[in-house]
Structure 1
Amino acid sequence: MRWRMWLSVVSMTLSLFAIETRAAEPVSPDLLKATIEAGGGEAKLLKLFRIKERLAVSSDENAKGSERVSVLEPPGHWWVGKNDRVKNDKEPATFLVWGWTLNALVDEKSKLESLADITIDEKPAYGIRISETITPPMDLYFHKETKRLARIQWRTDRHEFSDWKEADGAWYASKCVGYKLATDKRWYHTEILELERLKELPAGLER
């Protein structure tokens, strides 16, 4: 009886070890390169830019929301007007921007791990987990066919991306819908109406 219990414990331990080993698999360099290329290539990734967006914090998918203009330099800065929200509010949303611009994937301090494939909108998707530069770790999922970002899952939310557009060689999803992981309920949606790459920080803003 004891040996059966011992075998059961050993089997469970090996199974858990196998799961952890799979979860910690590094990202294929070729897949990472293809993912970055789908965003326009590393040289074209957005680092300092201005956006005009229409944001609605509402569960109503028809809510019109309101427009706002931001200057972003993720993950360190997010200016609305002259107010740097990261400096004043410890705003975590800039890490989301760092994620969807793909810059977090090319940061040499980021640890990247492959995630199990899933299905998003009836399409196969692969996942990449980013840790060490982002806490808690952030999970990004990309459609296999296009290599473009489909979802970010982080903290207590799931963010779904769509409607791709191009600006100065960089490709970005102009629409995003957020859902609470605990309830799967929609709580915001946003659309980027205008996006402009900036060569320098606009006058009046300070890092």
Structure 2
Amino acid sequence: MRSNKMDYWVRQFLGNTGTVSSKEAMSALTEIERNLSAGLFPTTGGAVSLLAREDVEEIYRSNRGLFPKFRPTVPDTGGRRARTLSEWYVAAIEQAIMYNRNPLTLGNLLLPSAIMMGVRPFGLKHAIAMDGLLHTYHFSGIDWRRIHGYATSLYGAIPEIGEAPYWLTNDPEPLSVLALTDGSTHEFLRLNYGYNIWTS
């Protein structure tokens, strides 16, 4: 993997576009290495947890000739490893929505305490960045109903597919990560940051 790509992932993991200290970088690299060993994408659990579609495709292509191969776990299958590129897309999105939670809904997750300690709440700039990365998956043949079902199993009540302003009404494509989170996440962002996808 190119070094500039790794630098980008470190910054994405930290949610930092400015100066990164060597200590911060090494800490992020340690977490990225743990992620890969656990079948998670490099940025999973970071400040901006979702990996761009192009990055997923690059990792997928670069792993074809390797042994042992990195194959991501797909959360809605109980952790089975992804085989096809479309499963890699699903794994990336589901891992991101599993690990980026707000403090009001963390109690709904049945995760080991060590993982729970690393779960990060949405912040305003991170939610907006996640929205941008989510849009890289549009029109890629993803079964959004499957991901919606998984998000529902995590959060309970979330916006229905096609519900404005969270979804495109003509095609089942989410306009925001808020389409895959519950009302308490929406309220958390609104109260703490004034974030509303109508006005932001």
User: Same fold by TM (over 0.5)?
Assistant: no
Computing the radius of gyration from Cα coordinates, the structure with the larger value is: 1
- Higher RCO, 1 or 2 (CA under 8 Å, sep at least 6)? 1
Higher strand share: 1
Name the TM-score, length of structure 2 as normaliser. Answer: 0.28
